[in-house]
């Protein structure tokens, strides 16, 4: 381990980061008390959640809440069914990333077919239903306003019928006001689905499907707001000697493609496809990558806590083990 670079960033990332030189061994170490009676809070490991990206056969499972706080929630869900209701968020935008499989998203702003790699945002107050076919996706719920800033690849359109075999019916319509969560239904009623879908003819707005393609190693933001942002990052052949520390945001990362070693003083995580991890505010981290890697980053000024009981924890690696991983990966990356 030698001298590395730390980028000290401040959300909303509208000014250059401050850049520090660090001794990496010291950066990844735990502080030592220099005075009797002086101590620090225990430094917790990073929390990790892993789900296979392919659809897993089994019984119906409701959305799994992974991280949440007073101002946001992140969930993972798989579907091989039609949602049993139309849902209307009263307090948040609902964003999603389609991991695998097909999903028909039906709303008052039109219907759109989603497939691997699609991002889409349902604005607050818009009724919506989903029909998934061996599908899995990530869900974010954050207060408005959030803006679509990624590349638009297509938009929703009014489709009646919205999918083959659909027939008009009276459906359940549920209104909630607690970050898209359960057990906070404020109004539940019957609604004519035909009328819900025909509402699109009177609306001027449409859903925008945004691309997950990466064209540089800079963060490509998909959605941005005053307190939250979601983007996608590609990394190619990195020796992990450039660290990032963010002063005022929690971060949750999700590995889309490739494998990388995420290193921090709070622990080390091998980020394989389907892995989530949480980086608390103020924690410096870097990524070692041989080949290519792509991951989604979620940053929020609101604190997020891991609430998934099946979460794992990061490991503590000594300097020799990290240097060995780096040497193997980086030597393979250099001709």
Taking only the tens place, the pLDDT of each residue in 159-170 is 999 999 999 999
Q: State the CB neighbour count (10 A cutoff) for residue 16.
A: 9
Give how far Cα 81 sits from Cα of 132, 161, 201, Å: 5, 17, 27
The H or E element spanning position 293 is strand 285-300
Domain check: are 309 and 231 in the same one? yes
Domain check: are 178 and 98 in the same one? yes
Domain check: are 102 and 160 in the same one? yes
Q: State the CB neighbour count (10 A cutoff) for residue 78.
A: 25
Quote the distance between the C-alpha of residue 282 and its chain's center.
19
Domain check: are 185 and 296 in the same one? no
Domain check: are 160 and 270 in the same one? no
pLDDT tens digits, one per residue of 125-176: 999 999 999 999 999 999 988 999 999 999 999 999 999 999 999 999 999 9
Domain check: are 44 and 101 in the same one? no
Task: Give the DSSP letter of residue 196.
Answer: H
The H or E element spanning position 204 is none
Interatomic CA distance for residues 314 and 174, integer angstroms? 39
* Total number of domains constituting the chain: 2
53: which residues sit within 8 A by CB, 6+ positions away? 99, 100, 136, 273, 274
pLDDT at 224: 96
Of 185, 210, 235, which marks where a domain is finished?
210
Domain check: are 115 and 187 in the same one? yes
Domain check: are 95 and 192 in the same one? yes
Of 210, 238, 269, which marks where a domain is finished?
210
Domain containing residue 45: CATH number: 2.60.120.10
Task: Give a yes or no: residue 58 inside a domain.
Answer: no
Give how far Cα 295 sits from Cα of 110, 113, 234, 272, 317, Å: 29, 23, 7, 10, 23
**Beta bridge partner(s), residue 286:** 263
Task: Give a yes or no: residue 140 inside a domain.
Answer: yes
pLDDT at 182: 66
Task: Decide if 131 contacts 163 (C-beta within 8 A).
Answer: yes
Interatomic CA distance for residues 20 and 263, integer angstroms? 18
Tokens coding 9: 């960033």
Task: Give a yes or no: residue 215 inside a domain.
Answer: no
Interatomic CA distance for residues 140 and 309, integer angstroms? 19
Can you give the residue range of the structural domain that contains 41?
Answer: 3-49+227-333
pLDDT at 106: 98
251 closest CA partner among 223, 225, 217, 285: 285
Task: Decide if 281 contacts 318 (C-beta within 8 A).
Answer: no
Domain check: are 291 and 325 in the same one? yes
Task: Decide if 307 contacts 66 (C-beta within 8 A).
Answer: yes
pLDDT at 249: 96
pLDDT at 205: 96
Task: Give a yes or no: residue 64 inside a domain.
Answer: no
Domain check: are 77 and 206 in the same one? yes
Task: Give a yes or no: residue 307 inside a domain.
Answer: yes
Q: Between β-strands 3-9 and 242-246, what pairing exists: parallel, antiparallel or unpaired?
A: parallel
Domain check: are 95 and 158 in the same one? yes
Question: What residues in the chain have per-residue pLDDT under 70?
Answer: 33, 181-183, 331-335
Domain check: are 97 and 150 in the same one? yes
SS3 10: coil
Task: Give a yes or no: residue 134 inside a domain.
Answer: yes
Of 179, 210, 241, which marks where a domain is finished?
210
91 closest CA partner among 209, 181, 173, 207: 181
pLDDT at 187: 85
């Amino acid at each position: 381990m030698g001298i590395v670079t730390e980028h000290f960033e401040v959300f909303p990332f509208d000014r250059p980061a401050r850049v520090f030189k660090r001794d990496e061994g010291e950066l990844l170490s735990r502080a030592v008390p220099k005075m009797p009676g002086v101590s620090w809070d225990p430094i917790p490991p990073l929390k990790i959640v892993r789900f296979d990206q392919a659809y897993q056969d089994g019984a119906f499972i409701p959305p799994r809440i992974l991280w949440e706080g007073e101002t946001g929630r992140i969930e993972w869900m798989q579907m091989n069914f039609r949602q049993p209701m139309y849902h209307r968020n009263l307090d948040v935008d609902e964003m999603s990333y389609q991991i695998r499989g097909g999903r028909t998203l039906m709303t008052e702003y039109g219907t759109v077919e989603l497939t691997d790699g699609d991002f889409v945002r349902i604005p607050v107050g818009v009724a919506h239903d989903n029909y998934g076919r061996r599908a899995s996706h990530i869900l974010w719920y954050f207060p408005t306003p959030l803006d679509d800033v990624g590349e638009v690849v297509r938009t929703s359109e009014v489709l009646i019928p919205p999918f083959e075999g659909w027939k008009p019916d009276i459906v359940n319509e549920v209104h909630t006001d607690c970050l898209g969560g359960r057990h906070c239904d404020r109004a539940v009623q019957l609604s004519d689905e035909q009328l819900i879908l025909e509402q699109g003819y009177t609306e001027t707005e449409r859903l925008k499907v945004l691309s997950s393609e990466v064209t540089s190693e800079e963060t490509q933001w998909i959605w941005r707001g005053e307190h939250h942002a979601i983007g996608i990052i590609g990394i190619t052949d990195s020796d992990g000697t450039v660290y990032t520390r963010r002063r005022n945001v929690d971060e949750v990362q999700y590995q889309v493609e490739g494998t990388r070693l995420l290193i921090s003083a709070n622990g080390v995580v091998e980020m394989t496809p389907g892995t989530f991890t949480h980086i608390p505010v103020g924690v410096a981290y870097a990524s070692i990558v041989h080949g290519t890697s792509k991951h989604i980053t979620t940053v929020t000024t609101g604190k997020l806590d891991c609430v998934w009981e099946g979460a794992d924890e990061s490991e503590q690696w000594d300097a020799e083990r990290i240097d060995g991983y780096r040497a193997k990966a980086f030597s393979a990356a250099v001709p």
